[in-house]
Amino acid sequence: MNTPPVTTLLVANRGEIARRVIHTCRALGIGTVAVHAPREETAPHVVEADTAVPLPVPPGGGPVDAYLDPAAIVAAARAAGADAVHPGYGFLSENPALARAVVEAGLTWVGPSADAIERMGAKTRAKEIARAAGVPVADALNPEDVRVEDLPVLVKASAGGGGRGMRVVHDLADLPAAAADARTEAASAFGDPTVFCEPYVERGRHIEVQILADAHGTVWALGERDCSAQRRHQKVIEETPAPGLPGDLRRDLHEAARRMAAAIGYVGAGTAEFLVPVHPPAEDDPTAFGVPVFLEMNTRLQVEHPVTECVTGLDLVEWQIRVAEGDRLPAADPPPPVGHAVEARLYAEDPRGGWRPRTGVLTAFDVPAATARFAPPTGFGVRLDAGVEAGDEVGTDFDPLLAKVVAHGRDRRDALRRLAAALTGARLHGVGTNRDLLVRTLRHPGFVDAADRPWDLHTGFLTGDRLTALAAPLAAPDTEELAALAAALASAEAARTGTAVPPGIPAHWRNLPSGPHVRRYTTDDGREISASHRTVRGAPLPERPGTRVRSVAADRVVLEVDGLRRAHTVHFAGGRVHIDTPNGSVALTPVDPLPAPEVAVDPGALPAPMPGTVTSVDVTVGEKVRAGQTLLRMEAMKMEHRITAPAAGAVREIPVAAGRRVSAGTPLAVLDYEGRSS
């Protein structure tokens, strides 16, 4: 029986992936329906869809829960007259209940069957299928069955991915608490608390194979992606082809993925994920790669699918829809890849502060190097898939992903260079991001040389001392000094042009000699920077040696430093100054010369470092605690964050309870520290 063509499609998701699906639907002439939680009425995916339907929040739930009710999704599709549903990724994308509900409602489900989702979406069952297909697998253990000889292990959520519901355990005594934490996080993110354990490989390459299969028996393996650069078990940089992967290993992984898909009659897009141990070559073992093991199969589109689209020229969302309509893949084999593509995930988070989420209003959001949005660039270039626009508010209810920036180059070095330059030149104001970490990683010798030294790139790449170095600000101290000077000059110019000044009076003119103009600023990490200049014959003269002012405007300052000219774009917003330079971006907060008196704060109070929800209180009033002990746990941007004791002491007060939503700065606990008076 022929499936009728899709005329109107509901995207059961939000943010960047919803916009991505809408983009393809518009090109295909398919109407679109967006769904949204409360207070998302002006979100980009809602504005861009033809129709929008609000989702109800269940009693006691939050905005995320609005997206986790299959019945509400189907009701929204019916209300809007949609005849198809695309799940995107995350939320209910790997929940068979939604697939069944959509089909039972007589709608077209753009994804694999509910049976395939159950068989492959449950990671423990997927391992059994892989083993039956002759694919090596990592053993899956119940947390209760883990023994000392099994350590270290990785606790994983069975129903989802994206780093949520994962914990590494090296000590058996820590396993019960880690499993409990993982269950809580998995239930919140995926609606399913089931977890399992598998052996943890300290040094491995995370390789995944993109599958696309039709209902007529054709299964494509659309190349592999390397996703080894991760933080908290969540991917940060992905690329295709995988650098340094031997040809025979690449073919084996592709064939293993095809066999698994064929074994269950898989239809649609999916991804088979493998972990390949890596080590420096030795005389008795010249290869850098060990035996790969199957990890899981994602029965949905992946976040990193744009890199595959860039090298193949395919629109995977279009093919998801066409396969759902019954179309055949046009050939037995997929198109060969062209060039190399790398994707960087731009997160609203602080890599130097334990990956804490950053919130606020995006006063500017622009990637000038991007020549395409939600589609591969023509020829080689940069693609931008963003879930936000300038003016949007970034909160803590959802994932911190702001955008994906993708570069397609002739080869790997070309793609890395294009992507690093595009991120460096991006204007990202108002909300802190991981941009500097991404740029430093893309330029790090261990990452750049991964094709020649494949053992240097592994899932632990962004850890330890290397992470500390990579998370450092991209702007050097001299760049920050010049940025502060540019901010001071632009501020003075803005004040002058905004004041009634007689015609012909030059900038910075004074009728009496005066001392230097000094302005002070603080950086995001609390450091103070000052900038000073004098006015000589109406022209600003910096007191910084070797520095001259070439031009000044309220939004652009050109400085000459030791004979080299540097342009600074200056943007004032939200009480801060953002300065973009070729050597990095700097955000500064002006220091008030006459600050208002500060309210006294109890020295033992521990404020919330971000807005979020308190998920548990792990101590009681009067309890003695040690330095580093977990006091409370918060959830923000779908990740758990622990509030720990900075020093040993006793708990004097816990003014919050589990389930309470708090704003940044809200007191969470008050301690009396040992050896200090309260």
Give pLDDT, residue 528: 93
Give pLDDT, residue 550: 95
How sure is the predictor about 601, in pLDDT bands with cuts at 50, 70 and 90?
low
How sure is the predictor about 678, in pLDDT bands with cuts at 50, 70 and 90?
very low
Q: Which of the residue ranges 56-60, 248-252, 592-596 would you say has the lowest mean pLDDT?
A: 592-596
- Contact in structure between 32 and 329 (CB atoms under 8 Å): no
| Percent of the chain residues past pLDDT 70, beyond the cut | 94
Give pLDDT, residue 136: 85
CA dihedral 88, 92, 97, 100 (to 10 degrees): -10
Q: Which of the residue ranges 86-95, 319-328, 492-501, 665-674 would you say has the lowest mean pLDDT?
A: 492-501
Where does 8-110 sit in CATH, by number?
3.40.50.20
Token digits for 630?
A: 């977990």
Model confidence, pTM: 0.87
Give pLDDT, residue 162: 59
Beta bridge partners of 231: 234
Q: Tell me what the pLDDT averaged over the chain comes to.
A: 91
Q: Which of the residue ranges 275-289, 371-385, 578-592 would you say has the lowest mean pLDDT?
A: 275-289
Give pLDDT, residue 512: 53
CA-to-CA distance for 363 and 536, rounded, in angstroms?
35
CA-to-CA distance for 626 and 642, rounded, in angstroms?
15
What is the CATH architecture of 477-499+508-590? 2-Layer Sandwich (3.30)
Q: Tens digit of pLDDT for each residue in 4-27?
A: 999 999 999 999 999 999 999 999
Q: Tens digit of pLDDT for each residue in 274-286?
A: 999 999 988 777 7
How sure is the predictor about 2, in pLDDT bands with cuts at 50, 70 and 90?
low
663 has pLDDT over 50: yes
β strands within 424-498, DSSP E: 427-429
582 by Cβ neighbours in 10 Å (0-12 / 13-18 / 19+) ranks as exposed
Beta bridge partners of 630: 644
SS (H, E, C) 10-70: EECCCHHHHHHHHHHHHHHCCEEEEEECCCCCCCHHHHHCCEEEECCCCCCCCHHHHHHCH
CA-to-CA distance for 161 and 384, rounded, in angstroms?
23
Q: Tens digit of pLDDT for each residue in 335-355?
A: 999 999 999 999 999 998 888
Distances from the Cα of 201 to the Cαs of 152, 271, 290, 460, in angstroms? 8, 21, 11, 10
Give pLDDT, residue 502: 55
Closest CA relative to residue 256, chosen from 214, 298, 301, 221: 221
676 has pLDDT over 80: no
Token digits for 611?
A: 């807005």
Alpha-helix residue ranges (DSSP H) falling in 122-246: 123-132, 175-190
SS (H, E, C) 529-591: EEEEEEEECCEEEECCCCEEEEEECCCEEEEEECCEEEEEEEEEECCEEEEEECCEEEEEEEC
Measured over the CA atoms of residue 5, residue 66, residue 43 and residue 302, the dihedral's sign is negative
Q: What angle do CA 122, 128, 129 make, to 5 degrees?
A: 85
CA-to-CA distance for 675 and 678, rounded, in angstroms?
10
367 has pLDDT over 70: yes
Give pLDDT, residue 286: 75
181 has pLDDT over 70: yes
How sure is the predictor about 660, in pLDDT bands with cuts at 50, 70 and 90?
confident
Residue at 584: amino acid letter: G
Say if domain 605-673 classifies as CATH 2.40.50.140.
no
98-101 contacts at long range (C-beta below 8 A, 24 or more positions apart)? 98/12, 98/70, 98/73, 100/70, 101/70, 101/71, 101/73, 101/74
Domain locations along the chain? 8-110, 202-470, 477-499+508-590, 605-673
Token digits for 187?
A: 């239930």
617 has pLDDT over 70: yes
513 has pLDDT over 60: no
Q: Tens digit of pLDDT for each residue in 536-568?
A: 877 888 999 999 999 999 999 999 999 999 999
Give pLDDT, residue 102: 98
Q: Tell me the fold of 202-470.
A: D-amino Acid Aminotransferase; Chain A, domain 1 (3.30.470)
Give pLDDT, residue 506: 55
94 has pLDDT over 60: yes
Q: Looking at per-residue confidence, does 661 or 488 come out higher?
A: 488
CA-to-CA distance for 106 and 96, rounded, in angstroms?
16
Query: Quick one: average pLDDT of 499-521?
Result: 65
Give pLDDT, residue 499: 53
Give pLDDT, residue 353: 85
529 has pLDDT over 50: yes
Max CA distance (Å), the chain: 90
| Percent of the chain residues past pLDDT 90, beyond the cut | 68
665 has pLDDT over 90: no
